Amino acid sequence: MSGTKNLFAIGLVSTIAAIAGLLFGFDTGIISGAILFIQKQFVLTTAMKEYIVSSVLIGAMMGSLASGRLTDNYGRRKVMLIVSGLFIFGTLIASLAPNVMWILIGRIVIGIAIGIGSYTAPLYIAEAAPLEIRGGLVSLNQLAITIGIMMSYLINYSFVDSAASWRLMFAIGIIPAVLLAIGVTMLPESPRFLVKQGEKSKARETLQYLRNHPNVEHELMSIESSLHTKQTKFKELFQKNIFKVLLLGIFLGFLQQVCGINTIIYYAPTIFQMAGFPSASSSILATVGIGVVNVLSTVFAIMYLDKLGRRPLLFAGLIGMALSLSILSFGFYYHGDADILRWTAMGSTFVFIICFAFSLGALLWLMVAEIFPLEMRGLAMSIAVFSCWFWNFTVSSTFLTLLDKLGASTTFLMYAMMCVFGLIVSTFVVPETKGVSLETIEHNIRRGVPLREIGMPVENTMAISLHENNIA
Ligand code: BGC
């Protein structure tokens, strides 16, 4: 099946996705350093700082809600082009902004691009990639996000001494955005979209190109038959069996954010300064370390998610996150020796990031692509992605206020408690989906098996339900 052309095409598709994920990471991460310099130029209240950090998230919420309809009406490729245009446009506005209002507008436009891209890029890959490597490519997206975050931290660090630093920090994002625009023009439209538009022969040509094989009739037929049932009505999501999985997706989006990940990703230098790091540059350097371990731990997740399974990694991650956040909270409570607080803050945030990256970081995006039945995947996925952005916004826009009102110790303890809550709920509701086909998952959902068992081989779930009926 795979030939040179196939590998080239798949390589191109993955690279494009990687650039969209990279921009997601870059544009969300860059603010952590930039905010320190924006506040030097403009007088900012706590609330204004929170708006600047979270304006991108308001845009992302809007983008993720609109993304399902946009990709259905205009096609994946066109929407990716629009995404790169929005990235370029938003970056220009933010980096040339004469005042805070224009920074906010620019960041909202960038956010819309991130929201649409965070949905469209994985969808585009999933539809173009051969079945055997689809899972790996989805997780590659998370790797690109973490690389984007790391790059933003490195840029934050290298621009630290420049006078107009925050403008340059934002402006660098133009480069990947232009690369994305150029890359997308080289890509074919998704075969699924072409079939939907009635352009069957074009779809056949595209599949032959992507698969490097003349006989693609079987795949074409299965796309056609899945499209017959594709017109999901909103109310179908409320059928009992489907609604349960939708709630699971919404819960995973919620949990990924209420553990407080982005208080570290967006505010790490601020936290390090609070913990006694002497200068902006030493705090930003410590943050670069956060970026590096985030990437490395994501590589670990990609290697082991399919071997160790989703549940063990999730549980280990949540326990590690709860513990490290409790230690961070204790460090701020104790207020003892300045050196001890500094190293406790750094050590515990590093452990927290490692634990997040090998569990919830990679898992959310993987599971929302796995758990929904094909016919409603688009709609359900955009709702789960929206949940993630909504909770991201809620946590990031309240963090500084919580620090002011409750203090660092109580604030981090609250996030630790959220991890414990997540651990308890996940034990009952998160399925193991390792090594099971999406069709089996769908089959189990439709038969109404409990959420935790939707990833089990069909024979096992049948045995369980027979056993339960006998007992009853
Ligand atoms: C999350 C982001 C987070 C990033 C950190 C992603 O999976 O959705 O909110 O900033 O991981 O690596």
Q: What are phi and psi of 309, to 5 degrees?
A: 100, 160
Tokens of 423: 């651990």
Summarize pLDDT for 205-241 with one digit per residue, the tens. 888 888 777 888 888 887 777 665 545 667 788 888 9
pLDDT in the model for residue 87: 97
Confidence of residue 2 (pLDDT cuts 50, 70, 90): very low
Q: How far apart are CA 315 and CA 325, in angstroms?
A: 15
Distance (Å) of CA 165 to CA 36, 98, 171, 316: 10, 14, 10, 39
Could you tell me which residue, 456 or 151, shows the higher pLDDT?
151
pLDDT digits (tens, 9 = 90+) for 421-454: 999 999 999 999 888 877 888 889 989 999 999 9
Residue 189: predicted pLDDT: 86
Higher pLDDT, 46 or 405: 405
Encode burial over 284-308: b for 16+ CB neighbours within 10 A, e otherwise: bbbbbbbbbbbbebbeebbeebeee
**Whether the CB of 294 sits within 6 Å of ligand 1:** yes
Q: Whose CA is nearest to atom 6 of ligand 1?
A: 361
The residue whose CA has the least distance to atom 10 of ligand 1 is: 262
The 3 state secondary structure assigned to the chain is CCCHHHHHHHHHHHHHHHHHHHHHHHHHHCHHHHHHHHHHHCCCCHHHHHHHHHHHHHHHHHHHHHHHHHHHHHCHHHHHHHHHHHHHHHHHHHHHCCCHHHHHHHHHHHHHHHHHHHHHHHHHHHHHCCHHHHHHHHHHHHHHHHHHHHHHHHHHHHCCCCCCHHHHHHHCCHHHHHHHHHHHHCCCCCHHHHHHCCCHHHHHHHHHHHHCCCCCHHHHHHHHHHHHCCCCCHHHHHCHHHHHHHHHHHHHHHHHHHCCHHHHHHHHHHHHHHCCCCCHHHHHHHHHHHHHHHHHHHHHHHHHHHHHCHHHHHHHHHHHHHHHHHHHHHHHHHCCCHHHHHHHHHHHHHHHHHHHHHHHHHHHHHHHHHCCCHHHHHHHHHHHHHHHHHHHHHHHHHHHHHHHHHCHHHHHHHHHHHHHHHHHHHHHHCCCCCCCCHHHHHHHHHCCCCHHHCCCCHHHHHHHHHHHHHHC
Does residue 149 line the site of ligand 1, with CB under 6 A?
yes
When the pLDDT of each residue in the chain is averaged and rounded to a whole number, the result is 87
CB 147 near ligand 1, within 6 Å: no
- Among 255, 262, 295, say which to mutate for ligand 1: greatest number of ligand atoms within 8 Å of CB: 262
pLDDT at 464: 56
Cα(272) to ligand 1 centroid in Å equals: 20
The per-residue pLDDT for 122 is 78
Determine which residue's CA is closest to atom 12 belonging to ligand 1: 146
CB 116 within 8 A of CB 63: yes
Q: Is the pLDDT of residue 471 over 50?
A: no
Q: Is 265 touching ligand 1 by the criterion CB < 6 Å? A: yes
- Identify residue 444 by its one-letter amino acid code: N
Ligand 1 centroid to Cα of residue 23, in Å, is 12
Query: Cβ distance 428 to 452 under 8 Å?
Result: yes
Q: Is the CB of 382 under 6 A from ligand 1?
A: no
> What tens digit of pLDDT does each residue of 106-137 get?
999 999 999 999 888 877 877 777 766 666 67
The pTM (predicted TM-score) of the whole model is 0.87
The answer to whether the CB of 387 is under 6 A from ligand 1 is: no
- The pLDDT of residue 72: 80
Q: Is it the case that residue 3 has pLDDT exceeding 50?
A: no
Q: Which two tokens mark 117?
A: 């891209």
Tell me the pLDDT tens digit for each residue of 61-76.
999 988 877 888 888 8
Residue pLDDT, tens place only, 304-337? 888 898 999 999 999 999 999 999 999 999 877 7
Instruction: Return the percentage of the chain with pLDDT > 70, whole number.
Output: 92
In short, whether 261's Cβ falls inside 6 Å of ligand 1 is yes
Closest CA to ligand 1's atom 8: 361
Q: Which atom of ligand 1 is nearest to the CA of 294?
A: 12
pLDDT digits (tens, 9 = 90+) for 339-394: 888 889 999 999 999 999 999 998 998 888 888 887 777 788 889 999 999 999 99
pLDDT digits (tens, 9 = 90+) for 244-273: 999 999 999 999 999 999 999 988 888 888
Task: Count Cβ atoms below 10 Å from residue 456 Cβ, excluding itself.
Answer: 21
Q: Is the CB of 392 under 6 A from ligand 1?
A: yes
pLDDT score recorded for residue 459: 67
Instruction: Name the residue with the closest Cα to ligand 1, atom 11.
Output: 361
